[in-house]
Structure 1
Amino acid sequence: MSITLIIIIITGIVSFTAFTNDKVYNDLIFYPPAVTYDKQWYRFFSCGLIHADWMHLIFNMWALYLFGTALEQAFISVFAQMGKIFYLLLYISSLFFCLIPTYARHKNDSSYRSLGASGAVSAVIFACILYLPLMKLRFFFIPIDIRGFIFGAAYLIISSYLDKRGGDRVNHSAHIWGALYGIVFFIVMAYAFSNYPVLEMFIGQIKSWLNEF
């Protein structure tokens, strides 16, 4: 079974449990003061296992399945035997790194909570786009294909705007930092543990596509 499917199954089981069990929900959610005063660092990771509702869970896991399946195969291609391990490391570590700015902003805020795997999913999506910048994406409200790198740029711009505006109870900061972390992780690991020129290939694919016009 793929690492992606294992993550989806575990996340689905824990999220379902938290939907009906307040103790599980409260013990796992990202609550900055619990980290600050009680040293409950595990919350950086555990909050990625629970979601606000079914739609939140389904959307995240659907995105993880689509992009994660492709990225997992890409990592196997680039890193050979270490591919699955590096893929799992990306996912787990991104849960932590995507929330560092959130924690810095809310470390003493007793009214703040955050949950969901969106930051880690963003890391997977953007690492996948780095490898496949010309992948075609289509959304139900846009009747045309969008290239991956164009979607990525629009995603970061819109997320940055929404984060600055605030007021919608969505942790856009985690989305942004998760996305950036996914890019940096892939670049660093590729140059350290493989011969795959990740940045050169990314730029080369885009140049080739632009030259068609």
Structure 2
Amino acid sequence: MNDTALHAHHVEELLETVFTEREQGRDALDGVLAHAAASHAGALDRGALAGLEAAGLLRLDGERVALTEAGEQRARAVVRRHRLTERLFRDLLQLSEDATESQACELEHILSPEATDSVCTLLGHPPTCPHGKAIPPGRCCGAAQKTVRSLVTGLPSFELGTPARIVFIAPRFHDRMDRLASLGVIPGSEIRLHQRSPSYVIEVGETTLALDPEIAQEIYVKRVEA
């Protein structure tokens, strides 16, 4: 890998750090620096931030740091690639968490926009990563036509009566996950969708359950291959 590629990767990691810190409601310069030191972003100091400011990717305002429009676009893209590949390796390939993180950190720098959209479509346009963090949507998420058939789809659009396996659940409220788990509705469970209206009726093992539409929309499944 040449020096230019290494520099581009480092810039993306620094922008990713600023983006993820902001998600936590933190924009203090010292906090961003401390987080970068403890993460894969590597060495980040005030000089590096000044370089990004000179490149038009972020703004320094006293002890605060913020992304510019150009920096925001670039940071969103790398965060999107990272979190989509986390879903790919955890949910479909079932790699360990350590292996997943390692692979995601590599692929976040090399996936093309077209490949990223294909992965997103393949996964059924997941709203969150395995850790519950939002995946920034891409062009493919609102497209009327898809060039890649989704392997993972939301439960509401899955075929009635067809065996499915839950790949992941993206609840808006954490306690929903606990309630669903108590009913056996967890990632890995095999289910069948029998009804969509007035409520969604699914079969889990020997149990038949009725789900509110809002909850059904948070469950993502893939077909069980014979």
TM-score w.r.t. length of structure 1: 0.29
Instruction: Name the one with the larger strand percent.
Output: 2
- Is the helix fraction higher in 1 or 2? 1
Higher relative contact order (CA 8 A, sep 6+): 1
Higher alpha-carbon Rg: 2
